[in-house]
């Protein structure tokens, strides 16, 4: 398994744990929903679900096509970009809820970064679907 695919699966499992903890916190202390709900949603969907799909997708889907991933470099860039921007987005969302201002600007920047990482996956996997031209 490529290093970045494994990193995505490991990160996904960590976000699953954080998603469960934030979920239980909201049940125990309903007041925290105001600041935590959006983080919980996106840690679960962009963290756990999407990163599991990235990791498993990078490992399995190109193999179905009998070819390697189109760009390992893009995969490596994406694993860093997706994680840094998701953690940044989550922290910024918590402070944006109570302080706004500067934190709102950070939410926009990290949100765009997260969007870019999604498109890196789309492009990389899309191109990995093309069969390698055989020399015969």
The residues binding ligand HEM (CB under 6 A) are 19-20, 23-24, 26-27, 33, 37-38, 40-42, 44-46, 48-50, 111, 114-115
How buried is residue 82: exposed, middle or buried, by Cβ count under 10 Å (0-12/13-18/19+)? buried
- Identity of the residue, 28 or 136, whose beta carbon is nearer to ligand HEM in the bound complex: 28
CA–CA dist 52, 64 (Å, integer): 18
Name the CA radius of gyration of the chain, rounded. 17
Least distance to ligand HEM from the beta carbon of 22, Å? 8
Least distance to ligand HEM from the beta carbon of 48, Å? 6
- Identity of the residue, 122 or 133, whose beta carbon is nearer to ligand HEM in the bound complex: 122
Least distance to ligand HEM from the beta carbon of 108, Å? 9
- Identity of the residue, 101 or 131, whose beta carbon is nearer to ligand HEM in the bound complex: 101
Q: By the 8 A CB rule, do 128 and 70 touch?
A: yes
When CB distances to ligand HEM are compared, the closest residue is 23
In this structure, the number of other CB atoms found within 10 A of the CB of residue 57 comes to 18
CA–CA dist 2, 93 (Å, integer): 32
Least distance to ligand HEM from the beta carbon of 19, Å? 5
- Identity of the residue, 13 or 72, whose beta carbon is nearer to ligand HEM in the bound complex: 13
Q: By the 8 A CB rule, do 64 and 119 touch?
A: no
């Amino acid at each position: 398994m490529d290093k970045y695919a494994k990193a995505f699966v490991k990160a996904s499992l960590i976000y699953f744990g954080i998603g469960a903890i934030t979920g239980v916190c909201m049940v125990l202390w309903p007041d925290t929903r105001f600041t935590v709900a959006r983080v919980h949603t996106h840690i679960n969907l962009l963290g756990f679900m999407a990163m599991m799909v990235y990791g498993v997708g990078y490992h399995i889907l190109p193999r179905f096509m009998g070819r390697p991933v189109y760009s390992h470099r893009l995969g490596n860039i994406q694993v860093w970009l997706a994680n840094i921007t998701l953690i940044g987005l989550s922290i910024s969302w918590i402070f944006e809820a109570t302080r706004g201002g500067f934190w709102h600007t950070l939410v926009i920047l990290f949100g765009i970064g997260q969007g870019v990482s999604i498109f890196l996956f789309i492009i990389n996997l899309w191109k990995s679907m093309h069969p390698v031209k055989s020399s015969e």
